[in-house]
Structure 1
């Protein structure tokens, strides 16, 4: 078993670290910026896992995760990377894997180039990651479906050109009761709301999307009718692994900044680095990072090998998201009062890390998934 990255992977990671340095946020309250989106496309982050024939980079899950980790490690804005990841993993890959050939041909080049922005319209006011409880309904009509319902916390929602959404097509169908759709923003009956006022990940705007007798043609069904669950599960395998590589990079740079700070900062006549509890805290930060990294890389390898990655994906998501929050809090403790001054950026990193244990399935949901994989 070889835990080392190949020379090619190391070089690609290094190139991304260099290229992504100008993606840092101009301010902690910056929203979506077209210039940043174009840069993300130029770095091929919007189509990293899409075959080259469709305009992507043709990378597997592990190599895609390494790109996102490297970009985050460089100091790229976490919210901007989150917007790109939500676009790619929750929207573009379902189109790639499940859309009809002509739909793939018409949508994928624009999605990979950044010409089209995709929004993940899954969550509802009364339903998070549970597709069996979706209130949004899709009614069969001649040539397609009529969608009625409301989606909330739609990542990229206010600026998206295309929405990947899910609706109940058979209330009594159980696992086969939902269907996935790719819906154009200009579809009659679709209304995208204004951006929500968030405290973190601000470069990824989120908002409400409302469907009122919104017609979606048959060629925009992803997979077959009733196949919403496997479409969503596939997107979550990628999202819960590759997206969270962003938080590996974030932890890496936080630890690096903390190490520099404790070497330079003196308190009561001695370096903070020589205070044992401070050194212990940094050791725990490194332990959490490397443990999560191993789990995430294993999850990505399972995807690349065509295995069922469910257990590894759930463990990776749980470990990395919890570590991101804990490490951000530890960084705040190490910096003390300076952590709450915007010039140091620690408070921004904490605000960006805090949602990680909630989106893409809460930590409690990941524990349930792990328990299920254990046969409980």
Structure 2
């Protein structure tokens, strides 16, 4: 594996950093406080190509490989201070748009992907249910075969982008006897389909500019050609999409950690207490040293996991290890950053407390840290 950055990749990275810094960082504190998703900022991300990074160019995407996508998302996380917007873009791209690019019919790709890549459509992954949490084997949503298609019934919860989505990638049981492996199918459902309702919108501790909510399906008819992939193929599609999300979403966190480190170093050099810069205090300098070490390890793990997505049968364990390590590294880095700023870090207007709140979510979404450890242990034969 050679992760040296090509001149083309360097141009991509710098362009995304400039764009995000210039266009996406207005009024983040107030939008976070009021839980405002700014569609204008989303549209700008679409114009920049962020909503279609890993999608084939013939459908309006950027056509990047997984490693270049990882680098691009790191640059996005570095430049954009709106962590909720970054999260919504990644959920749209990795858990919804990538699966359609990989498993969609020619008709589905021609009709849907251009609008997803441009940002005209916002996508939501509809998997988690009220009684299932991290256990997809307990899925209760059903898709009953009827003449010409299927009737969807069920409720999905904690669906990122749910309240604002134009299209949902919905997983439902088509054969209860076969269970999760072979009994789950995936469907593409427009939000204006009769019987498809947006339920409760939830208020979160962090990532508050990324809307999350409940999706309800009451006898929603979907034609047979709305199925993504084959009958019973939903488990494979979902698992692959989680590999992409776990491996690449955390790349954005690496960029955020890098920006926090650079700011903390500058502050430690200029903040004077007791007659000297606080960076001269070992308690502070060691925090910064640990932050730098975690970032370097995280970046290498993210690039390795992205490479594995397209080159290795070990992609799933690499994705889980990467998600586990980087999410916990991000949370610890956010805490260290706040401690370095002290009382200033605790104040909302200084923004550092928001990173503590936002980073807490990363140890939960896409499978909690405990779930990642379970997956890794399974690969170890335990």
TM-score, normalised by the number of residues in structure 2? 0.95
Cα displacement (A) at 1:194? 4.6
Cα separation, 2, equivalents of 1:3 and 1:57:
20
Match in the other structure for 2:269:
263
Match in the other structure for 1:335:
341
Matched, 1:284 2:290: yes
Matched, 1:70 2:75: yes
Alpha-carbon contact 1:263-1:273 (below 8 Å) kept: yes
Which segment drifts farther, 121-130 or 360-369?
A: 121-130
The size of the alignment, in residue pairs, is 376
Q: Which runs of 4+ in 1 moved over 6 A?
A: none
Q: 1:116 aligns with which of 103, 114, 121?
A: 121
Alpha-carbon contact 2:80-2:86 (below 8 Å) kept: no
Match in the other structure for 1:244:
250
Cα separation, 2, equivalents of 1:128 and 1:169:
20
Distance change in 2, residues 1:25/1:243 (3 Å): farther
SS at 2:307 equivalent:
helix
Q: 1:159 aligns with which of 164, 174, 192?
A: 164
Cα separation, 2, equivalents of 1:195 and 1:115:
22
Cα separation, 2, equivalents of 1:259 and 1:274:
11
Alpha-carbon contact 2:3-2:303 (below 8 Å) kept: no
Cα displacement (A) at 1:115? 1.0
After superposition, residues 89-108 of structure 1 pair within 5 angstroms as 89-108=94-113
Match in the other structure for 1:295:
301
Q: 2:44 aligns with which of 39, 48, 63?
A: 39
Q: CA RMSD in A?
A: 1.3
Q: Deviations over 1:135-191 (max 9, x none)?
A: 111111111111111101111111111001111111220311111111111111110
Q: 1:230 aligns with which of 215, 232, 236?
A: 236
Match in the other structure for 2:218:
212
After superposition, residues 131-170 of structure 1 pair within 5 angstroms as 131-170=136-175
Unaligned runs of 5+ in 2: none
Q: 1:196 aligns with which of 197, 202, 221?
A: 202
Cα displacement (A) at 1:68? 1.3
Unaligned runs of 5+ in 1: none
Cα displacement (A) at 1:131? 2.3
Alpha-carbon contact 1:87-1:119 (below 8 Å) kept: yes
Match in the other structure for 1:24:
25
Alpha-carbon contact 2:128-2:136 (below 8 Å) kept: no
Alpha-carbon contact 1:62-1:304 (below 8 Å) kept: no
Alpha-carbon contact 1:132-1:177 (below 8 Å) kept: no
SS at 1:357 equivalent:
coil
Distance change in 2, residues 1:224/1:3 (3 Å): closer
Cα displacement (A) at 1:45? 0.7
Matched, 1:12 2:27: no
Match in the other structure for 2:363:
357
Cα separation, 1, equivalents of 2:290 and 2:52:
35
Match in the other structure for 1:85:
90
Match in the other structure for 1:127:
132
Which segment drifts farther, 314-323 or 24-33?
A: 24-33
Cα displacement (A) at 1:103? 1.4
Alpha-carbon contact 1:122-1:128 (below 8 Å) kept: no
